[in-house]
């Protein structure tokens, strides 16, 4: 019953999976008041969220804000999170994880598309000409949380008590405590080429069965699956978990089909290691074969600070 009366807490990186999401990446303009406008907007974001979410609390609205490396110092005047830096391009023999601009990320989620739309409309009205849009992607939940390649997405996400330990910075960096690193990439898929593969070939690339999502062993050839390349382990064999809230997007009329990858993590290096293994290969040269059908168009890194951090941005 509490979900019907209490909005989701601001900056909740583990907000529930929803039917709709908007991923909005912007950069600050050179207008004289841009930084001040952005700062005051972020400080008042909780009020804006309540103004929209109160219209339907059952829609489970949430917005998480990430701040990029290039704007951090001017915007906050506070110590930088220890691992925060711009997205580093990863260049393999055949594929490249590109690095693209982005000062702010707004990860807007709701069960209702109109709630996401209304929040973004009011947000952009407040930001005005202080920002310019780099990318705006509208995602949707596809059947039983599958991507457009037909496989269940997000199976390896941490659950329950293990979520905070995987995604929230703790005592190792007290200035960033309670926040989370975010990496986003927008991939488009060659569904025609993918569709020409047999189900068995697709399953070997992903590392899971297509219908019932059961893990498969890698081939003896040394080629590792997408699942294996994205598994980073401690020395004792335990996994370094990250939280994914990926969403399909696209337009059949424009022949655009894609997945918006968004990963939240306590340790940025974990996602960077995943990308290195995907694009360079492990061993080098044996890249993730999903990249032969999925092309990254963007790559940006952010840090999502705590809600109290945002609320105090405009207190000076």
Question: What are the backbone angles phi and psi of residue 209, rounded to the nearest 5°?
Answer: -75, 150
pTM for the predicted model, two decimal places: 0.96
Mean pLDDT, residues 6-26 taken together: 92
Mean pLDDT, residues 70-90 taken together: 97
Pure H helices in the chain: 34-43, 45-53, 69-76, 113-127, 162-167, 191-195, 199-206, 226-229, 268-279, 307-311
In whole angstroms, give the CA distance from residue 248 to residue 145.
9
pLDDT of residue 316: 55
Q: Which of 14, 135, 153, 288 is catalytic?
A: 153
Assess whether pLDDT exceeds 60 at residue 2. no
Annotation says 282 is catalytic: no
Q: Note whether residue 268 is domain-resident.
A: yes
pLDDT of residue 5: 64
Assess whether pLDDT exceeds 80 at residue 315. no
Q: Which domain holds residue 279?
A: 2-311
Q: Note whether residue 121 is domain-resident.
A: yes
The distance in angstroms from the start CA to the end CA of the chain is 39
In whole angstroms, give the CA distance from residue 138 to residue 249.
6
Strand partners, 180: 304
**259-280 per-position pLDDT tens digit:** 999 999 999 999 999 999 999 9
Q: Note whether residue 316 is domain-resident.
A: no
pLDDT of residue 220: 77
User: What total of structural domains would you count in the chain?
Assistant: 1
Q: Note whether residue 195 is domain-resident.
A: yes
Q: Residue 83 — pLDDT band, cuts 50, 70, 90?
A: very high
Q: Virtual CA dihedral for 101, 94, 244, 87, nearest 10 degrees?
A: -30
CB-based contact 153:266 (threshold 8 Å): no
**164-221 per-position pLDDT tens digit:** 999 999 999 998 999 999 999 999 999 999 999 999 999 999 999 999 999 999 987 8
pLDDT of residue 237: 72
Nearest to 189 by CA among 123, 125, 129, 142: 142
């Amino acid at each position: 019953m509490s979900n019907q009366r209490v909005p989701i807490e601001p900056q909740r990186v583990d907000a529930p999976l929803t039917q709709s999401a908007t991923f909005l990446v912007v950069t600050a303009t050179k207008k004289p008041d841009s930084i001040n406008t952005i700062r005051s907007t972020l400080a008042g974001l909780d009020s804006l969220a309540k103004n929209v979410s109160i219209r339907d609390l059952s829609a489970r609205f949430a917005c998480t804000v990430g701040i990029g490396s290039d704007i951090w110092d001017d915007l906050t005047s506070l110590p930088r999170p220890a691992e925060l830096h711009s997205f580093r391009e990863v260049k393999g023999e055949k594929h490249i994880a590109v690095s693209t601009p982005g000062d702010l990320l707004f990860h807007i989620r709701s069960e209702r598309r109109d709630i996401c739309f209304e929040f973004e409309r009011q947000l952009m009205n407040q930001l005005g000409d202080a920002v310019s849009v780099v990318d705006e992607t509208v995602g949707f939940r596809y059947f039983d949380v599958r991507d457009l390649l037909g496989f269940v997405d997000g199976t390896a996400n941490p659950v329950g008590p293990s979520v905070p330990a995987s995604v929230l910075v703790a005592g190792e960096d007290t200035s960033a405590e309670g926040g989370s690193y975010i990496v986003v990439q927008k991939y488009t898929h060659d569904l025609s080429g993918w569709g020409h593969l047999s189900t068995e070939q697709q399953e070997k690339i992903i590392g899971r069965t297509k219908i019932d999502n059961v893990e498969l062993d890698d081939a003896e050839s040394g080629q590792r699956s997408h699942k294996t390349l994205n598994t980073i382990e401690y020395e004792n064999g335990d996994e370094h978990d990250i939280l994914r809230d990926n969403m399909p997007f696209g337009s059949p009329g424009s022949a655009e089909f894609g997945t918006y990858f968004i990963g939240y993590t306590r340790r940025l290096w974990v996602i960077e290691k995943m990308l290195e293994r995907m694009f360079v290969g492990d061993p080098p040269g044996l890249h993730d074969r999903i990249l032969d059908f999925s092309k990254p168009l963007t790559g940006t890194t952010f840090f999502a600070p705590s809600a109290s951090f945002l609320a105090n941005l405009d207190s000076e």
